[in-house]
Amino acid sequence: WGHNEGTRFDMTKPFDAEEGAKGFQLSNPPILQAVSLLASLEIFNSVGMEAIRNKSLLITGYLEMLLANRLGEGAFKVLTPTDPEQRGAQLSLFLKGNV
């Protein structure tokens, strides 16, 4: 993993690293990660993406409301679009002062 593809099987030293992101490629995913991915995909499939998206809109909006109520509107700035249809399920924040 990470070895130069051209010399990978020469079994020579020192380690000949592949440059850039290409060195982080995997031909086979680790089995434990693949099993957890399968479990999440099964949940997505059983519930449906529309229900998952609706919940993401609710909990992202809820977080935004909690921040405004607990910290006050002036304590932070939401950098992501205010329209939930344009921001996905995350809030990027700029915290002001000693928050």
pLDDT digits (tens, 9 = 90+) for 26-62: 778 888 888 889 988 999 999 999 999 999 999 999 9
pLDDT recorded at residue 1 = 66
pLDDT recorded at residue 51 = 94
Model confidence at 98: pLDDT above 90: no
Model confidence at 3: pLDDT above 80: no
The torsion angles phi and psi of 49, rounded to 5 degrees, stand at -65, -30
Structure tokens at 76: 């932070």
Share above pLDDT 70 across residues of the chain, in percent, rounded to a whole number: 99
As a whole number, mean pLDDT of residues 69-78 equals 90
pLDDT recorded at residue 9 = 83
Report the predicted TM-score, pTM, of the whole model to 2 decimal places: 0.61
Structure tokens at 89: 């399920």
Question: Residue 67's pLDDT band (boundaries 50, 70, 90)?
Answer: very high
Query: Rounded CA gap, 81 and 87, in Å?
Result: 5
**Which residue in the block uniquely carries the two structure tokens 């919940």?**
55
Query: Rounded CA gap, 13 and 67, in Å?
Result: 54
| Inter-residue contact 55 to 31 (CB < 8 Å) | no
DSSP bridge partners of 3: 17
Query: Rounded CA gap, 49 and 55, in Å?
Result: 10
